[in-house]
Each structure stands twice: as structure tokens, then as C-alpha cells.
Structure 1
Amino acid sequence: MTASPYLPRPDRAAAALCTLLGSPEDLRQPGVREAAERARDLLRSGADHDELAACYRALDTALRRNGDARGLAGGSRGPSVPGIAPHIKVAVCPGATLCARVERARDLLPAPQCAVHGTRMRKSRLGSAP
């Protein structure tokens, strides 16, 4: 997957970066933290527009490769439009020895019950590490 050809104005990209840096869950994705910290350091040091734009593109690409359809500034990291989800949420086995059961997990509903372990399954993102 490639980066979006559209990147917002520098002030909006900086705002999206600020929000991203405040989202520990998004920063856990491979390559995202490094790219975000590099963009932050360039922004703090007063780097030129072209260098910042290249860094923002790299960050956008890292986010999209990790399944974040919004990229850097394609949408809010806060509440979203009903029915649109940047990640596919699933319920997975809560046990120490994981089974292959995967169920769809809706935000406002509890995860399904695990009949083997007698507890609710835990919510995760599809493809993310446990």
C-alpha cells in the first residue's frame, strides 16, 4: 500500500502529528513511533517544508501499512463517523493457550463469552499482536 498523494497543509499535518503522538495505541504499530518521533524532531528544529513533507509522507505510509486507513491526516483519531472504522476489531481467545476462534467485536457491545475458559473473550485488532 502506498501513501496518500494528498497531504494537508503543514499546520494541519502538525495537528494530526500532535494527536497521533498522544495515541499510545497507534504508536505501537511497527515503524509508526519512529516515523512520528522523527517528524516531531524535524518540526521542533524548524526543518524546511520539503523535508517535513517527506517525513509526513513516510509516516502516512507507515500508518497505512499497519492497517490504519486514515493515514496521517485522513480523519480524526477521536470519535468517528458511524459505520466507518479505521480498524477491524475482533474478539480473540482469552486463555493462556490461544485457540483460533475469532469473532467480530463491536465497540458498544461486550465481547462474546468463551465457553472453554468461562470468561469473556478479549477485544483486539485484526492482525495485531496479542
Structure 2
Amino acid sequence: MTASPDPPQPDRRAAAALCALLGSPGDLRQPEVRETAERARDLLRSGAGADELAACFRALDMLLRQAGDARGLVNESRGGAVPGLTPHIKVAVCPGPAQCTRVLRARDLLPAPHCAVNDTRMRKGRLGPAQ
């Protein structure tokens, strides 16, 4: 007689990242993110199956990234302050009154690129969910 394999366990890294996320109210400003995080917490508490939890973790990861959090859910930097890493994608956008859709990566230590249309430097900002 063979022993049955252990039932699949939830992703421990995702559970730890969820714990850090729930402890950071600033990351839960978006209602969809907050609701999905709370749903994942409830699934963990109720002992839901690994497949159901994995689907919820994937949905939460996608919502975080759509909300502008480049880390997503499972990333080594979640819950810790790592120098040089930020949860948002910094970009340079058109500064003029007639704004175009040009978006470039903005580096912290370098000035923003030049905008040829408005003859000035682009302004730095954060990539929003609508961009």
C-alpha cells in the first residue's frame, strides 16, 4: 500500500507577502486591491485549497501591478525597506499644456529628458493605473 501524497500547501511566500501588504494601509488605497487582499486573507483563515488560494494570489498580484505597484504581490522587497527600490514605476511625462502620450523611464539621479515640443525638461511622476 502506498501512502497518499500530502495535500498541496498554499504558497508560503505569497502568504507572507499578503501579511506585509495587509499591514501597510498605504498599499491598500485601491478598493479592488483591498477587497481582493481581504478575500485572500479570509481564504487562508478558512483553510481553502491551494488552487483557490493560488488563483486569488494571482488576481491580487495583477491588481497590484495595475495599480502601479511594480513589485506585485510576491517580491523580496515587500514588507522591507530596501535602498534604491520603490513600489512605483517612476516615469517622465510631457510637461506642456498640450500633453502628448510620451512616457519615458525616469532615473532618480539623472535629470528628466528634454521635451522637444515644449522646449523644456519633461516632469517626473509615477506611472498610474490608467497609463
TM range (shorter): 0.5 to 0.7
Q: CA deviation at 1:33?
A: 0.2
TM-score of the two chains, using structure 1 as the length reference: 0.58
TM-score of the two chains, using structure 2 as the length reference: 0.58
Unaligned segments of structure 2, at least 5 residues: 1-9, 91-96, 98-105, 109-124
Matched, 1:77 2:86: no
Task: State percent identity of aligned pairs.
Answer: 68
Q: CA deviation at 1:83?
A: 2.8
Q: CA deviation at 1:126?
A: 5.7
Q: How does 1:1-130 map to 2 (within 5 A)?
A: 10-75=11-76, 76-80=78-82, 82-87=83-88, 127=128
**Cα deviation code 1:28-58 (max 9, x no counterpart):** 1241100100000000000000000000000
**Cα deviation code 1:50-89 (max 9, x no counterpart):** 0000000000001000010100012323212x33322257
Question: What is the aligned-residue RMSD (CA, Å)?
Answer: 2.5
Aligned equivalents of 2:80 and 2:89: distance in 1?
16
The one-letter code matched in structure 1 to 2:35 is: E
The one-letter code matched in structure 2 to 1:62 is: L
